[in-house]
Homo-oligomer: A and B are copies of this chain.
């Protein structure tokens, strides 16, 4: 990537402006776009900040006419919502929000694991009915987890679960020290008490959690998805729960978000539904904003950027 032009243009795809973007005043021309204006403004942008990271507008606008930004940063860990063949084939550098969500998501997964082990959803139901019903709950120490996804988020989840005494295996695309390869997945899932999905959405991972894999889990096991909705065949999960192939599940992400009121998923027995919030702790927007400003400093100084996504693979290659 060559140095920035003297009068660069930063295009921000957003509904609300990112915090402290005004500190860049005088150093870059800042323009804003929404889903309807993105295609038209893209040719004049040197940098595109995808602040509204739920939007699929980039994927739709990118293949159009004219020059394209040389750098795209998305305020998200996943890049599946913006990647298209034309962007992947281009010289444009794509960076992501690697690091911001790791610890919050790890805590969220721990919250779900413990809530299910301690039967908290039932406790709330019984409280609403004013009913005192003692139950035995489960110890998590000594149980087994299989965390799928060996990026910073998956690794943070594994660290947190291990801190609770859970024997945790990590599965990634490439086997390396402490990380299992895809060949071990079926064996690890079959003996796990907790299967946690935290993989990036790529061609290789799309629909990887299907009827066959739910079918090989233990009847006492639970499944948690904090990655991307399309990693899971949702109908297969609903069936696995209804037929009690597995004991419970929690989805924080869905193939179609927001989940519509009519979705049958809200009512699947043993399924906890949350609105894609696992990584979003108080101050997260500030952190995302500060992270972009830091990357922008480097870009303007002509220094190499961190968090560069491998556009063919669809994620930042790991260490």
> Which chain A residues have a beta carbon within 8 Å of chain B's beta carbons?
103-104, 107-108, 110-111, 114-115, 117-118, 120-121, 123-124, 126-127, 130-141, 160, 163-165, 257-259, 261-263, 266, 272-277, 280-282, 284
Contacts and interface: CB of A to CB of B under 8 A. Distances in A.
Given A110-B164, A121-B124, A164-B163, A138 B266 contact: no
7 contacts: A104-B137, A107-B117, A121-B124, A130-B261, A132-B259, A132-B275, A134-B275
A134 B277 contact: yes
Nearest to A106: B141
A228 B136 CA distance: 19
Given A272-B123, A275-B132, A281-B137, A107 B114 contact: yes
A277 B111 CA distance: 18
**In the complex, which of the residues A123, A164, A277 has the most CB atoms of chain B within 10 Å of its own CB atom?**
A123
Contacts of A160: 164
B120 A282 contact: no
Given A114-B114, A124-B121, A280 B137 contact: yes
A164 to B, nearest CB: 7
A234 to B, nearest CB: 15
Contacts of A257: 132
A273 B107 CA distance: 23
Contacts of A165: 103
A117 B111 contact: yes
Contacts of A133: 275
Given A120-B115, A163-B163, A272-B123, A139 B107 contact: yes
A127 B115 CA distance: 15
A276 B132 CA distance: 9
A273 B132 CA distance: 9
Given A115-B111, A274-B123, A134 B103 contact: no
B103 A138 contact: no
Contacts of A111: 111, 114-115, 117-118, 120
Nearest to A119: B277
A107 B118 contact: yes
Contacts of A262: 130
A280 B134 contact: yes
For the complex of A and B, list the 8 residue pairs with the smallest distance between their C-beta atoms, beginning with the closest: A111-B114, A132-B258, A163-B163, A111-B118, A130-B261, A139-B281, A130-B266, A132-B275
Given A114-B114, A163-B164, 17 more contacts: A107-B117, A107-B118, A107-B140, A107-B164, A108-B137, A111-B111, A111-B117, A115-B115, A115-B120, A130-B262, A132-B257, A133-B275, A134-B276, A134-B277, A136-B284, A137-B277, A138-B281
Contacts of A134: 275-277, 280
A110 B121 contact: no
A132 B253 CA distance: 11
Contacts of A130: 261-263, 266
